[in-house]
Amino acid sequence: VSPTTLVLMLTLANLGYVCADVAADGFMVWIAHQEADSKRGRVQTLIYIAREVGRICINVVIICGFSGPQVNCPGYESDPNVPCTTDESIMARNELSEEYPEDWCHMKCSGAQFDFGMTIPQYAWLIAAINLISIPSYFMLKEEKKERIQVTKVLSDFWYTAQRRAVWQVMLYTMISSITFNVFIAAKTPANYVWVGLSTLQHQVLSIVESFIFAAGLSLIRKYCLGFSWRKMMWIGSIMVTFFNCLYLLIVYDVIRNPWFYMFTDVSDTFLYTLNFLASVFCIVEISEPGFEAITYSLITTANNAIIPLSVVISYQFMAFFPDLNTQDGIASDTPAVRNQFALLILITESINLTSLLSLPMLPRQKEETRELMENGGRSKFWAAFTLISGLLFLIYSTVVTFMTVAGADTYGCLKILGGRGCTEDESDGPVIFLMCFAFAYCYGINFYFTFWPIIKGEKKFSWGVFF
């Protein structure tokens, strides 16, 4: 099976997962509506904790199954009777080919941690078996039967619901805050291998610890912080995430270059990201009206996920201004100029992340304020349409980027507009710069209109309290 075919098959499998997940989200919101006001959020956090436990389990499988020579040693052959390949491009990626020109493909290279491992088809069968085992549990769910409603009737009623200010405002907030907050330091990944010496095994261990810390953070919030202000949670999470990201400067300037130190900063970052994550999803339950739980929850989470490729493109486009950081060889030179470029990239990225806090006035503080906005916020067909069309455009862009970089990886994956580094040296930066300007104008323009324009017109008085 070719890599492209495999990815397309997994994409179709993911489509099935999404369909099941949307139904599960709707059921979760319905259950959350049955909770007492003081305990609302416990079911929601419990489900996300269960998700993280599942991630921990599958990462353990990945460590055990994909740390062997089959995956980490290019050209490896488990059958000693099969001759080694003579493809120079494969041989160049395995350091054993020069020292052992005859039997290099039957030996474990330095990149493998274990002598055993599993193949991709075996891994796929394992995932399929887990899904098959879980199917009988679905029949235990009890759902009241209702009369069939025409799709046009459902969409018409939901359109009326989408016109509520609380719905389109929360959706707008989710998109504009996520675009800026999800911009990341694209040079960090190659730097981790060059400067820190992060191994594949350590990277997988980091993924497990991150999931464990995320689940621990969810548990603490579930027990102590369900009534805490969502805006204050965003402040605490964003500032502390920025602080731990800036600790990477110690690695940049060779104060401490240790993989375990990096893992500590990254894990702490993940713990505090929990605050931002929950603050953005708690309010979705409150704006989901009975009968529209699944469509409302999925609509806002889809809008949030659809902007991720846009943030990725923006992140990699910043690398164009720092050419020495585009390759591992450039980072490995470790000159003062390279360090200063890296430090500047960190400061720019973190500054953009912090600007997501400017949109906090669009996020209700807590459940009571959300319900008040639902009842007294009014309706707007224009802003409902604007929000839904924006989400649709982001989804189309996300789909195009995903398809082009998978189905046409060799031809289109290098295009800058799709998040690549450029197919040719003279490829224009114009389209990506335009995309970046559009994204930032969208974020800051909407935020200015709803937060600062009423103050300028004299309709509201400025107070720092609007951000808390």
- pLDDT tens per residue, the chain (468 residues)? 676 677 778 878 888 888 888 888 888 888 888 888 888 888 888 888 888 888 888 888 888 888 888 888 888 888 888 888 888 888 888 888 888 888 888 888 877 888 888 888 888 889 889 889 988 888 887 777 778 878 888 888 888 888 999 989 998 998 898 888 888 888 888 888 888 887 767 777 888 888 888 888 888 888 888 888 989 988 988 888 899 889 999 999 989 888 888 888 887 777 767 777 777 788 888 888 888 888 888 888 888 888 888 888 888 878 778 878 877 788 888 899 999 999 999 999 999 999 999 999 999 988 889 889 888 888 999 999 999 999 888 888 887 877 777 666 667 767 777 666 677 777 777 887 888 888 899 999 999 999 889 889 888 888 888 888
Residue 468 in contact with residue 369, Cβ under 8 Å? no
**Residue showing tokens 């708690």:** 282
CA dist., res. 447 & res. 75, Å (int):
53
Q: Among 5, 47, 283, 328, which Cα is nearest to 165's?
A: 283
CA trace torsion 14, 15, 17, 20 (10° rounding):
170
H-run or E-run covering 310:
helix 308-317
Q: What is the pLDDT of residue 240?
A: 87
Q: What is the largest CA-CA distance in the chain?
A: 82
Looking at the DSSP assignment, which residues form a beta bridge with residue 164? 379
**What gap in Å lies between CA 109 and CA 70, rounded to an integer?**
10
Cβ contact 46:278 at 8 Å: no
Helix (H) or strand (E) holding 239: helix 230-246
Closest C-alpha among 20, 4, 55 to residue 403: 4
Cβ atoms of 205 and 63 closer than 8 Å:
yes
Residues β-bridged to residue 379 = 164
CA end-to-end span of the chain: 53
- What pLDDT shows up at residue 406? 67
Q: Which of 181, 233, 225 is nearest to 358 (CA)?
A: 181
Q: Which of 69, 63, 52, 62 is nearest to 127 (CA)?
A: 62
User: How many CA atoms are closer than 13 Å to the CA of 46, on its beta-carbon side?
Assistant: 10
Write down the pLDDT at residue 442: 92
- HSE, CB side, 13 Å, CA atoms: give it for residue 151: 0
Rounded distance between C-alpha atoms, residue 103 and residue 91, angstroms: 12
Angle at 7 between CA 405 and CA 408, to 5 degrees: 30
